[in-house]
Amino acid sequence: MGDTFFFDIPVYRLARDRYYQEREGYIDGVLFPKSSPESEELRARDRADPGRNAYMRGYLESKYGGCWEFNEIIGYIRLHFLGSQIRGEYYGVSSKRIVRTRTKTLEFKTWKLASEVELPDSPSQAGILETIHKYLDDCKKELPGRYLDTSIFEAIARHVDWRSLFQSRF
C-alpha cells in the first residue's frame, strides 16, 4: 500500500487559538498571581514597560510547550486510495491521557479511522475531491475535541489532478 498514500493530515490536541489563549492564561497566572496582593501593581508596571518581563515570558512560553505548530500534534491521518475507496490510516500518540508535552511517540492506531467512502463510478476531479472532503468530515466526527488541520491540503487540493492520481495507482 505504500505508494497509494497521497496526503498526511495532522491531528492536533486542540485548535491554535485555544492553545495560545490557554498559554497566555498560564503566563499571566505565573507573572501576576491572583493570590498576590501586588498582582495589579505588577500588571501596571508590565503595561508601562512591556520589555520588563520579556525574558520571563519567553521562558514561560517555552516551558508551557512552545509554539502550537508541530508541538501540539498528537497524530496523523494518512489518506490513501484502496480500490475505489478513500481511506485513512491513523497514527496517534502512544499514551492514554493526552496532555501538552514536547516528548511524544506516534504509533500506528488503526487501518481506517472512519468508514471508507466509496468513489463514484468514473469519478471526476470534483467528485474525487468531494469524496475526500466527506471522508475528512467523518474523521472529525471520530476524533471529537481534536483539531484536524486541513489548511495545507485545502491550499493545494484545487491544483492536484485527482483523476490522474487516482488512476495512477493501478
- Report the predicted TM-score, pTM, of the whole model to 2 decimal places: 0.81
Let me know how long the chain is.
170
pLDDT tens-place string over residues 124-158: 889 999 999 999 999 999 999 999 999 999 999 99
pLDDT tens-place string over residues 27-83: 999 888 888 888 888 878 888 888 888 888 899 998 888 889 888 899 999 999 988
pLDDT band, residue 2 (cuts 50/70/90): very low
Closest to 148 (Cα-Cα) out of 5, 6, 14: 14
Residue 1: per-residue pLDDT: 42
The answer on pLDDT for 102 being more than 60 is yes
